[in-house]
Amino acid sequence: MSRVAAIGIDAGSTTCKLVAVDQDGTIISSLLEPTEPRVELQVQRMLDAIRAEHGANSSVRTIATGYGRKLIKDATRNLTEITCHARGVFRDLGCAGTLIDIGGQDSKVIQIGGDGRPVDFMMNDKCAAGTGRFLEYTAARLGVPVPELGARALSTAQEEPISSTCTVFAESEIISLIARGAEPDSILRGLHRSLVGRVVSMVRNVGIVAPLMLSGGVAKNEAVREMIAEATVEDVILPGEPQLMGAYGAALLGI
């Protein structure tokens, strides 16, 4: 008999994640891929792969989250990212607190209660400010690969202030900074500060209940972590697999 008790799917706008858990909520298997245009077909393929790998059949409870969640026909149920991220991080780190999740297209701040459920939350509005996309677009202007962004931003003490949190305006600011001969790493440092400023203002709106936790793809960026800690004067802790927390929480909610 298969060990898989439930499967969580996070059909995000940038990446698509699947997590299979056993009856105790331990991760048995996970998959992560960049999101394809037909996310429903992609998820089906990933689901088939994970089921085949563990001999699980289609009756295993499957919970979908993320922006493409409603397209997943095989899902037993779909739930928002807020509920799933809260549950995943709560289980992984074992505590209540304030979670900042910075994804590719949106970011959210969730206050997690003592039972792992969201108590209060905030999401950024419908633009790319305060999201991974902001860093991605603007860094593309500087020709820096995304995995190197954080280290490059921390490699200098010089910082070029970027006053705009809007991706379009920030891009024109970068162009004028380049034209003035500013160092790319100093510009990157300014870009990170701008993103963190936007995220921290959301954190303040929701209110900080320690500890401060960080999840989502951008959690891997060390400059973002450091600047959030600096701005909030709080330690920032990370779950083991920050990018998988939505899918993990979804799987846990399926047990």
Output phi, psi for 100, to 5 deg. -105, 120
* Pairing of β 97-102 and β 212-215: parallel
How far is residue 190's CA from residue 4's CA, in Å, rounded to a whole number? 45
Applying CB under 8 A, the residues found at the interface with another protein are 67, 79-83, 106, 117-121, 123-126
* Pairing of β 27-34 and β 15-21: antiparallel
Q: Which is nearer to another protein, 29 or 80 (CB)?
A: 80
Least distance (Å) between residue 108 CB and another protein: 9
Q: How many CA atoms lie within 13 A of 215 on its CB side?
A: 30
Among 242, 146, 237, 241, smallest CA distance to 191 is for: 146
Least distance (Å) between residue 63 CB and another protein: 12
How far is residue 245's CA from residue 250's CA, in Å, rounded to a whole number? 8
Q: Which is nearer to another protein, 24 or 125 (CB)?
A: 125
Least distance (Å) between residue 145 CB and another protein: 28
Q: Which is nearer to another protein, 123 or 208 (CB)?
A: 123
Least distance (Å) between residue 195 CB and another protein: 17
